């Protein structure tokens, strides 16, 4: 399978070359993220694609991850601070429209979601949104590998700095996780030629019949 070969090929790149990724490939990665799964299907996070060199240098301050600024593009997954009734209602209306349903055709789903999220605290909403953002991150890593684009998922960044510099709080968002994309500098990346190490399948997985 090409998928397995591409996943064997990928690793978390430490050193990127100066080569830029085409916007066509970036668009395909973004589309894959948009198509990925999310609980209840309501996509409680937003994606930012950042290329501005000065901005990325600022966002990388204090981080040990030089890939924040030293790569082709930086992807930021920003979770919602709150899952409110207005968002749920608007999303359900869009679902009804896209599926050619009458208004109110998904009323039961709408009420169920409102009943579930309304009692939760903003902290609980934020944690749930972060978990959904990580599903998007996983899809992004696979999509990049399929395009033979290198990627590095990262938690080692100042999330408060990202929130402040990008004005995320005013947008009802917070920085959840980031991923750099580009092309590996194989001559200067110490991991480029090392063997990928994973547990044997029968140790990693258990089948229950």
Burial of 92: CB neighbours in 10 Å, binned 0-12, 13-18, 19+:
buried
Domain with CATH 3.40.109.10 in the chain: 2-83+120-204
pLDDT in tens, 40-87: 999 999 999 999 999 999 999 989 999 999 999 999 999 999 999 999
Rounded to an integer, the average pLDDT of 177-194 is: 96
Tokens read off for 69: 């600024």
CATH of domain 2-83+120-204: 3.40.109.10
Rounded CA separation 135/175 (Å)? 15
Q: Give the HSE-up count for residue 144: Cα atoms under 13 Å, Cβ half-sphere.
A: 28
What local confidence, expressed as pLDDT, does residue 68 receive? 97
Helix, strand, coil shares of the chain, percent, nearest 5, are 45, 15, 40
Q: Is 195 helix (H, G, I), strand (E, B) or coil?
A: coil
Are 75 and 177 in contact, with CB atoms under 8 Å apart? no
pLDDT in tens, 78-136: 999 999 999 999 999 999 999 999 999 999 999 999 999 999 999 999 999 999 999 99
pTM of the model: 0.96
Share of the chain above pLDDT 70, in %: 100
Q: For 25-29, 143-147, 192-196, which range has the lowest pLDDT when averaged over its residues?
A: 192-196
DSSP string, 61-95: TT-S-GGGTSSSEEEEEEEES---HHHHHHHHHHH
């Amino acid at each position: 399978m090409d998928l397995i070969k591409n996943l064997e090929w990928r690793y978390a790149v430490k050193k990127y070359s100066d080569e830029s990724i085409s916007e066509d490939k970036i668009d395909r990665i973004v589309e894959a993220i948009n198509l990925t799964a999310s609980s209840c299907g309501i996509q409680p996070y937003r994606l930012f694609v950042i290329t501005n060199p000065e901005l990325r240098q600022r966002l990388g301050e204090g981080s040990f991850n030089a890939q924040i600024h030293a790569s082709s593009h930086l992807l930021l997954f920003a979770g919602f601070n709150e899952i409110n009734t207005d968002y749920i209602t608007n999303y359900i209306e869009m679902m009804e429209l896209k599926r050619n349903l009458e208004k109110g055709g998904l009323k039961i789903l709408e009420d169920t979601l409102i009943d579930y999220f309304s009692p939760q605290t903003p902290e609980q909403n934020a944690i749930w949104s972060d978990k959904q953002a990580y599903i998007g991150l996983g899809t992004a890593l696979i999509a990049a590998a399929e395009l033979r684009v290198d990627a590095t998922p990262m938690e080692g960044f100042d999330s408060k700095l990202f929130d402040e510099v990008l004005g995320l709080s005013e947008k009802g968002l917070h920085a959840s996780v980031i991923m750099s994309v580009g092309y590996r500098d194989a001559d200067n990346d110490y991991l480029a030629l090392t063997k990928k190490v994973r547990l044997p399948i029968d140790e990693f997985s258990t089948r229950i019949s």
